[in-house]
Amino acid sequence: MNGQLRAAAYDGTSMTRQTTALVTGGAGLIGSHIVDAARAEGWQLRVLDSLERQTHPNGRPAWIPDDVEFVHGDVRNRRDWERALDGVDIVFHEAAYGGYMPEIAKFIHVNAYGTALMLETIRNRNLPIRKIVMASSQAVYNEGAYGCAEHGHFYGQTRPVAQLERGEYDVQCPICEMPSTPVPTDEAAPMGGENVYAISKADQERLLISFGRATGLPVVALRYSCTYGPRQSIFNPYTGVIAIFCTRLMNDVPPVVYEDGRQSRDLVFVEDVARANILVATDDRANGGVYNVGTGNAVEIGTLARTLATQLGKDIEPRIPGEFRPGEMRALISDISQIRQLGFAPKVDLATGVDRYLEWIAEQGDVGEYFSNAEKRLRKRNVVRKSSERTSA
Ligand SMILES: NC(=O)c1ccc[n+]([C@@H]2O[C@H](COP(=O)([O-])OP(=O)(O)OC[C@H]3O[C@@H](n4cnc5c(N)ncnc54)[C@H](O)[C@@H]3O)[C@@H](O)[C@H]2O)c1
Ligand SMILES: [Zn+2]
């Protein structure tokens, strides 16, 4: 226990000085909406962001307000952390390398090492940070939770590649091996997602939570489900299923749906995620906790592709070539009862959220289609693989 660390509970009302919050990754989807939500609280904002080229090929996005102090830096650089953390009360750590990419070392470097550097800087300099809220992910789970008609509730395991190669995608009951039905996944589900991104997010989360326990500094990790909304990069072909499908459809190219299209995700609107961040930052009951943030509902990816086509007025069926990504989950419905107890409820349903995203994307001028080239790269590196059974043409 580092007694010198000030671990005073944050109480927004009793503070005389204006609260200063640092948002790492504040140029990105979730970070930029946290910036907006925190400004609405009257806080002073600083952003640390490296403006990753893949996400921001045109440099600093216009949505970062002028009164926000922008530190152009990298979470892998100690000096940048020192600059960014100086005078800060609350940290929202959102910067990360994400998606299904062939890299291995970079995930660990940006996500795990970057978080470690943040914690070390805070400890070594005895910085009077009052709370750290960090972006974890539903990806830290092995699989979602399931129900077998005969044997009841169980937590799924990562599906073996051999099973996926046979084109058998459903998670099977560990007792009777029958296909089972996804049910909401709570925070007690085992961690251990089997892809590099998942491993790096789990590292981040454990580093943070154990640091909080050891030092008494209030920390919270939020396991977001798939987040979407305005400002989701239309340039990055590796992340954001809604962004990828929309940019393809707008270029009259069918979305590529993996597996059989019946895999499902809990899609949460970015403003709801931002609100969850402000909530846990200002509620002491959240300290030391790990919370799912999602909607509690899931949509099948094949259905999503068709719905987006309809909303964009395109008569385009998704392409379902019978491919899969090793280590991917079959289904994840976020059980949000824990964060609901703190007063959180998602406000934007999928239809409304997609409308808002499509309105935004329509204002972005020409939207390129970057996925096709990316896909070739992923196939070559075996990040995307083919089942022997073709699901459909
Ligand atoms: N979007 C989702 O569906 C989702 C789901 C679960 C968890 N998350 C997590 O939420 C966080 C934010 O994700 P997002 O969707 O807003 O992503 P994003 O790509 O839109 O934003 C990430 C931001 O981080 C910046 N960044 C990347 N590497 C950096 C580095 N080395 N140093 C400094 N800045 C760097 C990027 O320039 C970008 O602005 C991430 O930690 C991600 O793992 C996202
Ligand atoms: Zn069973």
Q: Which residues surround ligand 2, an ion (CB under 5 A)?
A: 148, 150-151, 173, 175-176
The pLDDT assigned to 129 comes to 98
288, burial (CB in 10 Å: exposed 0-12, middle 13-18, buried 19+):
middle
Whether 202 lines ligand 1, by a CB cut-off of 6 Å, is no
Per-residue pLDDT at 20: 98
Please tell me the predicted confidence (pLDDT) of residue 162: 94
Q: Where are the beta strands (DSSP E) in 122-266?
A: 131-137, 145-148, 152-155, 181-183, 219-224, 226-228, 264-265
Residue 188 belongs to a domain: yes
Closest ligand (CA of 154): 2
Is the confidence at residue 334, as pLDDT, over 80? yes
Tell whether ligand 1 has an atom less than 6 A from the beta carbon of residue 27: yes
* Residue scoring higher pLDDT (25 or 3): 25
Q: Identify whether 289 is part of a domain.
A: yes
33 CA from centroid of ligand 2 (Å): 43
Residue 392 lies in a domain: no
Residue 54 is predicted with a pLDDT of: 86
Confirm whether 176 is domain-assigned: yes
Residue range 229-238, pLDDT digits in tens: 999 988 776 6
Q: Which residue CA neighbors atom 32 of ligand 1 most closely?
A: 74
- The answer to whether 128 and 6 are in contact (CB under 8 A) is yes
Q: How many domains does the chain have?
A: 1
Expressed in angstroms and rounded, the spacing between residue 181 Cα and the centre of ligand 1 is: 31
What proportion of the chain, given as a percentage, has pLDDT over 70?
A: 90
3-state secondary structure of 59: coil
Paired with 269 in beta bridges are 228
Q: Is 371 in the pocket of ligand 1 (CB under 6 A)?
A: no
Query: What tens digit of pLDDT does each residue of 3-19 get?
Result: 334 444 444 444 458 99
For ligand 1, atom 34, the nearest C-alpha belongs to: 49
Minimal-distance CA residue to ligand 1 atom 2: 227
Q: Give the model's pLDDT for residue 233.
A: 84
Beta pairing partners, 221: 134, 290
Q: Which atom of ligand 1 is nearest to the CA of 32?
A: 16
- Mean pLDDT throughout 173-183? 95
Name the residue range of residue 79's domain: 20-386
Quickly state the pLDDT bin for 194 (edges 50, 70, 90). Answer: confident
pLDDT band at 193 (very low <50, low <70, confident <90, very high): confident
More confident position, 239 or 340 = 340
The CATH number given to whatever domain includes residue 329 is: 3.40.50.720
Alpha helices, DSSP H, located in the chain: 29-40, 78-85, 105-107, 114-124, 161-165, 196-215, 241-250, 270-281, 301-311, 337-340, 350-362, 371-380
The residues with which 228 forms a beta bridge, in sequence order, are: 269
Q: Give the tens place of pLDDT for each residue, 211-225.
A: 999 999 999 999 999
Give the Cα separation of 336 and 268 in Å (integer). Answer: 12
* Predicted pLDDT at 7: 40
Distance CA(288)–CA(219), nearest Å, equals 5
Predicted local confidence at residue 131, as pLDDT: 98
The answer as to whether 267 is a domain residue is: yes
The residue with greater pLDDT, 16 or 207, is 207
CA 148 to ligand 2 centroid distance, Å: 5
Task: Spell out the residues 6+ positions from residue 376 whose beta carbon is closer than 8 angstroms to its own.
Answer: none
* Ligand 1 binding pocket includes 334 (Cβ within 6 Å): no
Is position 2 within any domain?
Answer: no
Task: Please give the number of the atom of ligand 1 that sits closest to the Cα of 56.
Answer: 37
326 within some domain: yes
- pLDDT confidence of residue 4: 37
Q: Is residue 10 part of a domain?
A: no
Residue 156 C-alpha to ligand 2 middle, in angstroms? 12
Cα of 173 vs centre of ligand 2, distance in Å, is 5
What's the gap in Å between 180 CA and the centre of ligand 1? 33
How buried is residue 55: exposed, middle or buried, by Cβ count under 10 Å (0-12/13-18/19+)?
Answer: buried
